[in-house]
Structure 1
Amino acid sequence: MTTHRRRAAAAAALGLTLAAALSSCALPALPGLPAAGRGDSDGVGFDDVQSATIQIEAVGTFVSPEEGGYEAAGRGSGFLISDDGLAVTNNHVVVGAGTLKVWRGGDTSETLNAKVLGSSECLDLAVIQLEKDDYPHFDWRKGKIPTATDVYAAGFPLGDPEFTMTRGIVSKADTAMDTPWASLSHVIEHDARIRAGNSGGPLVDDAGKLVGVNYAGNDQHDQNLAIHRDEVQGVIDQLIDGENVMSLGINGTALMTEEGEGLGIWVNSVASGSAADKAGIAAGDLLTKMEGVSLGADGTMADYCSVLETHGTDATLSVELFRSGEGIYYAGPVNGDAVEAVSVAQEAGATDGGAQSADTEYSTVVDDTESVAVDVPAHWSGVDTSVWTDPAGGEWAHIDASPDIAAFQSADSWSTPGISVMAAPAATATYAPEEWLSMAAQQLTQSGCTQASEDVYSDGLHDGAYTYWTGCGEAGAQYLMLSAYSADGSYVIALAVQSVTEEDLATIDRVLGSFIASF
């Protein structure tokens, strides 16, 4: 059982609550011209737009800031650009999916398989390859795309298999645009209404020729955005040839607090085998810095993409991230060794600083009966490993550790950090896990502590529950109380960690990742 998984309980107590500021026009998961010879037949006309437009279902495990990880299917749109099955869509529609299912022209009777050839999170583009066949496809509009050009947005909004088209005009012919999920130099703003599920669908003119790729919409401001034809044509051959462009292989979204503070780039999913995947970046991570640059400060992907543009995606890039599921900060290189844990979050909602280094030296302490072991900071010189007899007369294998053991063990002492671990065979244990939590709650409430959170606890070796308390005593100490049965039911264990300073909080993580008993 990995330490990371065992740290999940501490993360629940210290976790970061995140909220996305905006959303793309993909239906959330429940979260250039083709090169010569790649499409020989003529493109479809306006009356046949539907035949070359596809609906895409991406199935896989995604991680949402609000809902956590879940396996689900999200739907978007796309379109064919060659008769042998090359199609264009958005990066955020397909990247990180376990499988892709495709339906063409609204015909759900035939499901087509597809694979991602190349993608770009900064340009929000991806090229996928359908099963080889003879398909109708689009051609790109030639010449300028001026303001007031009649345009039509085609696709499958809201996940509905019914094909739709909406009409509008180009309101802004070519503009730069940074959004929470892309950073583009060439965008068409138009008023052909698009909805969730239209992501990746074609924007065409009145002859059925492609002018852009729809990727975002905002109903409140009646704003509909498409990636400009010229932006797509500049990279399409690279994507077709399997080369990722301006990409580390994430499906990401910049996050902001309700107060408008940028938090970083949330990773919804990661492409297997990508640079991000090899670096150990995982779905549910919040990327906070890259090459020393704070990410997402303005609520967009702009800084993230600027770093990639400056250094290139093959360079060794330093990255810092917060893994909310564990409450731990990681750092390391992309295109180098995998990221490693460096610190634990200082408090619920903390996003920077004030944490003890994960490189702090720890030593393993074993009780006198050699039944219980736990890691504690090596500089905690005070250790008591004697058998403890509870008020009911039960005997427990026991470890207390603290920088000042006498102060820690004294009544109503909240100014000294420390840990206590007690364990006994289930057959002789005088208290069950729920009784430990109840007794602790009574004493902590009497001491003026405030319960901040509670949840079930399961790390693969133990199953139980924990409570987390703050504001204890004049020192305002924090207190974690956990009690559980071993997974095989052989013993009961109770664990308490008292922290006073921000540096002490790293101890919670290490204790939860190391405690064990054997009877």
Structure 2
Amino acid sequence: MNTTTHRSRRGRLALAGAALTATSALALTGCMSFTVDAGEVTGPASGGGVGFDDIQSATIQIEAVGTFVSPEMGGYEAAGRGSGFLISDDGLAVTNNHVVVGAGTLKVWRGGDTSETLNAKVLGSSECLDLAVIQLQEDDYPYFDWHKGDITTATDVYAAGFPLGDPEFTMTRGIVSKADTSVDTPWASLDHVIEHDARIRGGNSGGPLVDAEGKLIGVNYAGNDLHDQNLAIHRDEVQQVLDQLAEGESVLSLGINGTGLMTEEGEGLGIWVNSVASGSAADTAGVEPGDLITKMEGVSVGTDGTMADYCDVLRTHGQDATLGVELYRPADGIYYTGQFNGEPVEGVSVASEAGASSGGSGGSGGSGGSGGNAGAAADFVSVVDDTGSVTVDVPEAWSSLDTSVYTDPRGGEWARIDASTDIDAFASGWSVPGVSVMAAPAATATIQPEEWLQMTADYLTQSGCTTEAIDEYSDDLHAGVFQYWTGCGETGASYLMLAAYSNDGEYLIVLSVTALSDDDITAIDRALGSFQAAF
């Protein structure tokens, strides 16, 4: 017997039902505002930056076009709009990271004038500070000056921009309610934030917050209608990194447009990657839009639904350090490990970690000519048992199903999914691949995890199987044991069995997979990356 020692970590990330529960700056509704008519765009006031009457002329609307991936909608090509503002006469402008990073193209309109479309490129950005500096095509532009002196509570402020993607310029008025506070949101982690009640809505992101003279005091980036809370990145936070961003250096950034992801029950899952900046550390590491970053340098990130832990790792080690990363890729149901600024991420396979490979050479075929090919990695479907208690992803080709209740030798009843290319051949031998998932409430489970493995071992030994690995198993929701066998039956198939309790002690789940080819090994990892039970 060749026994390996390792611990597998497979998180059950119920992404199908997951939702972003924190309010996003892009999902605001309702405000009391006054609208400034979009008239002729004028130049800067004499003596430098624009005055209050010319705020519109130095405020820009930005359209970011590209392919993004959301937890709810999957991949889509979209054109999202936000705001920004000019800070120099040669076209340097400030906006939010979440407005521009990862976009394929940027289009800019100034002051509500849609007759002229300007081009722009991102110079530097920060996902932790939710800041980005962009450069417009060369021209002579009006621009803002910065407020000088302290920013105090009750200061009159105005939020300018283009809410709801409308090209009509809008301003709202309010006062500073908190002059300097720290705030963590799903898409940023800031030490210096201004809280105010000048209402901002989706599309205001990246726009200027100014005083009664039209001087900049912050960059709007988030709001919450329910609590009448509107947030702007503090002037001092912006000015501290502005030169670096303008010179093309990113700050507290690995190049993602990310969001803390939470379940509907409020459980933090990680940092969802909406898009990735080409050439960034994340891009070089192999991170893709639609990935969920779960750990960095051994620290779980996004557990509270914010970017706080992610950004704390960057503040501790620096963005240029070699940083270990673990992520889950729902597109293929596999976990990946690797490094930022080091070794690119690679998929983690329970079977390969156990030192095993599929025993067959594609399968000898069963009744009806069924072979061992699980199909392409993308050809998976989700299957639910008859009671609605158990789900698992299986290759689309494994369409022969048994989802009825299973009664064990001791009379216990289990919710069950058996899936294969031929369910009868799967149940009677080793000629076809397949998966079996069973679950029962802990209170009624008649067979314990170790007993399941022992009962199965007797049959496997008779079939000529050899143990490759036996070890403890743990993931985000389960803990138990698993065993991996090879050389089973006349086809030399591989077989994995896992038996584990849910961490809350509510149920016991048993999963087994028969594999005849390397594609079927992929099916093992997909099954481990997708099985769920609820009682």
Work out whether the TM-score is over 0.5. yes
Q: Give the 3 Å change call, closer, same or farther, for CA 164–363 of structure 1 in structure 2.
A: same
Q: Counterpart in 1 of 2:447?
A: none
Task: Report the alpha carbon displacement of residue 511 of structure 1 after superposing the two structures with TM.
Answer: 3.2
Q: Give the 3 Å change call, closer, same or farther, for CA 504–290 of structure 1 in structure 2.
A: farther
Give the distance between the partners of 2:298 and 2:392, measured in 1 at CA: 34
Task: Report the alpha carbon displacement of residue 498 of structure 1 after superposing the two structures with TM.
Answer: 3.5
Q: Are positions 1:116 and 2:49 aligned together?
A: no
Q: Counterpart in 2 of 1:21?
A: 21
Q: Counterpart in 2 of 1:59?
A: 65
Task: Report the alpha carbon displacement of residue 360 of structure 1 after superposing the two structures with TM.
Answer: 4.3
Structure 2 SS opposite 1:69: strand
CA contact under 8 A between 1:96 and 1:272: conserved in structure 2?
Answer: yes
Q: Are positions 1:479 and 2:418 aligned together?
A: yes
Give the distance between the partners of 1:55 and 1:357, measured in 2 at CA: 50
Structure 1 SS opposite 2:313: helix
Q: Give the 3 Å change call, closer, same or farther, for CA 136–421 of structure 1 in structure 2.
A: closer
Q: How does 1:349-364 map to 2 (within 5 A)?
A: 360-363=355-358
Structure 1 SS opposite 2:153: coil
Give the distance between the partners of 1:131 and 1:249, measured in 2 at CA: 23
Task: Determine which of 493, 516, 519 is the counterpart of 1:511.
Answer: 519
Q: Counterpart in 2 of 1:497?
A: 435
Give the distance between the partners of 2:130 and 2:400, measured in 1 at CA: 42
In the alignment of these two chains, the number of paired residues is 406
CA contact under 8 A between 1:91 and 1:119: conserved in structure 2?
Answer: yes
Task: Report the alpha carbon displacement of residue 469 of structure 1 after superposing the two structures with TM.
Answer: 6.5
CA contact under 8 A between 1:449 and 1:470: conserved in structure 2?
Answer: no
Q: How does 1:5-84 map to 2 (within 5 A)?
A: 17-26=17-26, 42-84=48-90
Structure 2 SS opposite 1:365: coil
1:425-484 Cα offsets, whole Å, 9 max, x none, are xxxxxxxxxxxx9xx99xx97xx9988479995xxxxxx78477667524655433469x
Task: Determine which of 152, 155, 169 is the counterpart of 1:163.
Answer: 169
TM-score by length of 1: 0.71
Task: Report the alpha carbon displacement of residue 179 of structure 1 after superposing the two structures with TM.
Answer: 0.8
Give the distance between the partners of 1:207 and 1:358, measured in 2 at CA: 64
CA contact under 8 A between 1:497 and 1:508: conserved in structure 2?
Answer: no
CA contact under 8 A between 1:217 and 1:224: conserved in structure 2?
Answer: yes
Q: Give the 3 Å change call, closer, same or farther, for CA 468–212 of structure 1 in structure 2.
A: farther
Q: Are positions 1:154 and 2:160 aligned together?
A: yes
CA contact under 8 A between 2:261 and 2:302: conserved in structure 1?
Answer: yes
Q: Counterpart in 1 of 2:186?
A: 180
CA contact under 8 A between 1:453 and 1:468: conserved in structure 2?
Answer: no
Task: Determine which of 249, 252, 267 is the counterpart of 1:246.
Answer: 252
Structure 1 SS opposite 2:418: strand
Unaligned runs of 5+ in 1: 1-10, 29-39, 344-354, 367-372, 375-384, 391-395, 400-419, 424-436, 458-463, 484-493
Q: Are positions 1:339 and 2:345 aligned together?
A: yes
Give the distance between the partners of 2:516 and 2:225, measured in 1 at CA: 45
Give the distance between the partners of 1:198 and 1:449, measured in 2 at CA: 43
Q: Counterpart in 1 of 2:308?
A: 302
1:326-373 Cα offsets, whole Å, 9 max, x none, are 111111111011111114xxxxxxxxxxx666554213523xxxxxx2
Give the distance between the partners of 1:94 and 1:282, measured in 2 at CA: 17
* Letter of the 1:20 counterpart: L
Q: How does 1:222-261 map to 2 (within 5 A)?
A: 222-261=228-267
* Letter of the 1:275 counterpart: A
Task: Report the alpha carbon displacement of residue 51 of structure 1 after superposing the two structures with TM.
Answer: 0.3
**Pairwise CA RMSD:** 3.4
Q: How does 1:328-477 map to 2 (within 5 A)?
A: 328-343=334-349, 360-363=355-358, 365-366=360-361, 373=362, 385=364, 388-390=366-368, 396=369, 398-399=370-371, 452=391, 457=396, 466=399, 473-474=406-407, 476=414
TM-score by length of 2: 0.69
Q: Are positions 1:103 and 2:72 aligned together?
A: no
Task: Report the alpha carbon displacement of residue 14 of structure 1 after superposing the two structures with TM.
Answer: 8.5
Q: Give the 3 Å change call, closer, same or farther, for CA 110–12 of structure 1 in structure 2.
A: farther
Structure 2 SS opposite 1:234: helix
1:393-413 Cα offsets, whole Å, 9 max, x none, are xxx2x55xxxxxxxxxxxxxx
Moved more, 284-293 or 466-475: 466-475
Give the distance between the partners of 1:123 and 1:325, measured in 2 at CA: 29
Give the distance between the partners of 1:140 and 1:239, measured in 2 at CA: 17
Give the distance between the partners of 2:518 and 2:213, measured in 1 at CA: 64
Structure 1 SS opposite 2:279: coil
Q: Give the 3 Å change call, closer, same or farther, for CA 133–306 of structure 1 in structure 2.
A: same
Q: Counterpart in 2 of 1:145?
A: 151
* Letter of the 2:418 counterpart: Y
Give the distance between the partners of 2:164 and 2:154, measured in 1 at CA: 27
Unaligned runs of 5+ in 2: 1-10, 29-45, 376-380, 409-413, 423-431, 438-496, 500-510, 524-535
1:166-215 Cα offsets, whole Å, 9 max, x none, are 00000000011111111101000000000011000000000000000000
